[in-house]
Amino acid sequence: MLEEVLNNPILFTAIKLVVSFAIVLAAVPMLVWMERKSAARFQRREGPNRVGPFGLLQSVADAVKLIFKEDYFPKNTDKAVFLLAPILTFMPGVISFGLVSVTATRSGQLLGLTDINMGLLVMLAISSLAGYGIAFAGWSSNNQYSLLGGIRSSAQLISYEIVMGLSVVALLLKTGSLSLGEIVQQQSGVVFGFIPRWNLFMWPPCFFLFLLAAFAETSRAPFDNPEAEQELVGGYHTEYTGLRYAWFMFGEYAGLWTMCSIITALFLGGWHFPGMGRLIHDEWLFALVGFGVFIVKVLALIFFFMWMRWTLPRMRWDQLMKLSWTRLIPIALGNLIILALAMEYGGLFR
């Protein structure tokens, strides 16, 4: 039975497609719950605890509420663009998750939706599409706050994409491959007997640059200027209500989930955990445990994002741009040059 499914490429792909989509769909309500619960804990509150056990069904209740809300169009909106924007924001997060291999069998068969040999490039291209959705929403809403949010978002995404790109380029020098699956496979095992061979420990600057850029790319605090509730009244989604607002919400958390799984794959060793290969010999049990390890890593990373949100105040807009252009980009370039020199003349990663 299992062999039959595995040997039928169309059926196998269909199953992987459904599972990959379902993971994102299931992750979003959970992340919203996690966000509200952790926010509450950081402020010493209880958070949602009325709907379902531990308030787990709160997101479901919210979704039902949003569905039954009035379908509202503000005056003089550009309707086509206005309708397109939420979908454009939502799609990239879901699509680029398909590029991430979430686990692999012990013999190394990757189990993600797909693993194309230039996955990282495609991922960068798709994730920059999210900027269009936000810019469209800001522009078509016919509202000053939305417009400001859209402009901020575009400017922020452009400047931090450079930082992200440069840190990825440096990483590519080390890995020599653009395939996310292969990059993860390179990170198995340990060095010096106890440090996992994760890219985080192999070359930390890349990780921290990428992490900072990821905060900006997902518009998470302290870089949440595009939506800045206090100054922009929600920014680009000010004029959105009901289900269309829910799409934005969904896109935001899907983006966060995908970004964290990409960071996990690139820097935190994906499904690898020191000692896993020695302990588990069953082919498919390995894949299952690997999947669990992957999810735990992603959730830990997401928790870090939320932890940051309740620690740092939002940066001022000009400080944000200054940080990127005058600090991070030179650092990222320097990181690239030093790594290149170290690999060429120092024999690093040989």
Under the rule (CB under 8 A), what is the footprint of other proteins?
38, 40-46, 307-308, 310-312
State the Cα–Cα distance between residues 120 and 114, nearest whole angstrom: 12
Reported as half-sphere exposure (CB side, CA atoms, 13 A), residue 272 has a value of 24
Distance separating alpha carbons of residues 61 and 280, to the nearest angstrom: 41
């929403």: which residue's tokens?
137
Sequence-separated (6 or more) residues with CB below 8 Å from residue 55? 33, 36, 37, 47, 48, 49
Shortest Cβ 46–other proteins spacing (Å): 4
In three-state secondary structure terms, 14 is helix
Dihedral sign from CA coordinates of 107, 113, 114, 119: negative
Please state whether the peptide bond connecting residue 53 to the residue before it is cis, i.e. omega within 30 degrees of 0: no
Smallest separation (angstroms) from other proteins to the CB of 135: 30
Closest contact distance (angstroms) between CB of 303 and other proteins is: 10
What CA–CA distance (Å, rounded) separates 191 from 188?
10
For other proteins, give the closer residue by CB, 8 or 311: 311
Residue nearer to other proteins on the CB measure, 44 or 350? 44
Q: Which is nearer to other proteins, 12 or 42 (CB)?
A: 42
Cβ-contact 106, 281 below 8 angstroms: yes
**Phi, psi dihedral angles at 191 (to 5 degrees):** -115, 150
- Taking the complex as a whole, the smallest distance from the CB of residue 299 to other proteins amounts, in Å, to 15
Cβ-based nearer residue to other proteins, 285 or 312: 312
Identity of the residue, 88 or 206, whose beta carbon is nearer to other proteins in the bound complex: 206
Q: Judged by CB, which is closer to other proteins: 144, or 311?
A: 311
Q: Please, what is the minimum distance in Å from the beta carbon of residue 263 to other proteins? A: 18
Parallel/antiparallel/unpaired status of strands 195-196 and 110-112: unpaired
Q: 């939320």: which residue's tokens?
A: 306
Provide, rounded to whole angstroms, the least separation between the CB of residue 287 and other proteins.
33
